[in-house]
Amino acid sequence: MTGRLGLGIDTSNYTTSICVVDERGAVLYDGRRTLAVAPGSRGLRQSEALFLHLHHLPELMSELSVSGIDLGRVSAVAASVRPRPAEGSYMPVFVPGASLAKSLAAAWKVPFRGVSHQEGHLAAAEADAGGVDAEAFLAVHVSGGTTDVLAVQRRPGGYRVDALGESLDLHAGQLIDRVGVAMGLPFPAGPALEQLADGVPSGERLRIPALPVTVKGCSISFSGPQAEALRRVERGDPPAHIAAAVLRCVAKALEKALLHALGQRPERHVLIVGGVAANRWIRERLRRRLEHPAVGAKLHFASPEYSRDNARGVAWLGLQGPGNW
């Protein structure tokens, strides 16, 4: 078998990922390790995450080395080197993956390309969802570390990304995790919160008092919903009701922010990425409200597997873009 391969590495806050794709974007190897978080904790410090990546990266490379993939075909190595494609964007957690990627590129005498974690999410979601049929589109990156509404323009080798709005305090994933942990759920709390919310009969959902959320243009404040949700936990409200209220709050806030963007801009396609985008409650509400004929948006979601942190898009961007040694 011949053809060029791209190897991508992503070391995010909670996942160590290595992926290999071919020239068509097909995934040949997708290795991931979730970073362990102690029960009752609301997350990891950067130093803790960095230490865990240093343990996981050799494990994944060993796994890759016996996968049967001809690594001599790798013609580009890429890594997430920063959270966003913006000046001054930096987090130490991306250093281990970037260092390994640069070392592999030097040893194999192939180009290295550094991309942002956000661009990797966009590329992975596009690949998994079958692509967005537009040169310019809107995107939402919603996770534990990001709640960004974006204007995306294709360019050779990747994207130009401009922020239209962002979190004013907490990110959507932080709201979900902090309330979930307060209820005794494991971290990250999204899947368990969704399972709890599913226990609320459809006839009861609209009778649950909404969590007040502030949306200014395309930017969102989740500190108010967090305070109210934690008050409900303390007074002993049914956990399923609290879970449903939190997910409904996140979905409503994203809906408002996107309605503002759609009202101000010509783009109709919207790509939604990030771990929170894997939530079925949020997907269903956004599809129902934004794909309504009165709005006319076309939403694109990756599968839950490629909504969460992964290195598929990083590997693909490495093959597409110019390298730097």
State pLDDT tens for residues 13-25.
999 999 999 999 9
Domain total of the chain: 2
The predicted-structure confidence for 213-264, as pLDDT tens digits, reads as follows 999 999 999 999 999 999 999 999 999 999 999 999 999 999 999 999 999 9
In a domain, 152, yes or no: no
Does 210 reside within a domain? yes
Q: Is residue 155 part of a domain?
A: no
Note the pLDDT tens digit of each residue in 65-101.
Answer: 999 999 999 999 999 999 999 989 999 999 999 999 9
Closest to 7 (Cα-Cα) out of 136, 85, 108: 108
Closest to 226 measured CA to CA, from 183, 195, 260? 183
- Looking at the fold, whether 171 and 118 belong to one and the same domain comes out as no
Domain co-membership, 241 together with 312: no
Same domain, 217 and 104: no
CATH number of the domain that residue 66 is part of: 3.30.420.40
Least confident window among 159-163, 195-199, 201-205, 305-309: 201-205
Q: Is residue 287 part of a domain?
A: yes
Distance (Å) of CA 157 to CA 215, 271, 318: 34, 18, 8
pTM: 0.94
Domain that holds residue 70: 5-131+308-320
Q: What is the rounded average pLDDT for all residues in the chain? A: 95
The reply to whether 49 and 169 lie within a common domain is no
In the predicted structure, residue 276 carries a pLDDT above the cut 60: yes
The answer to whether residues 121 and 199 belong to one domain is no
Instruction: Specify whether 177 is located in the same domain as 297.
Output: yes
- What average pLDDT does range 184-194 have in this prediction? 95
Residue 127 lies in a domain: yes
Pair 117, 95 in one domain: yes
Q: Which pLDDT value is given to residue 145?
A: 92
Say whether both 277 and 238 belong to one domain.
Answer: yes
What span, in angstroms and rounded, lies between the C-alpha atoms of 81 and 93? 9
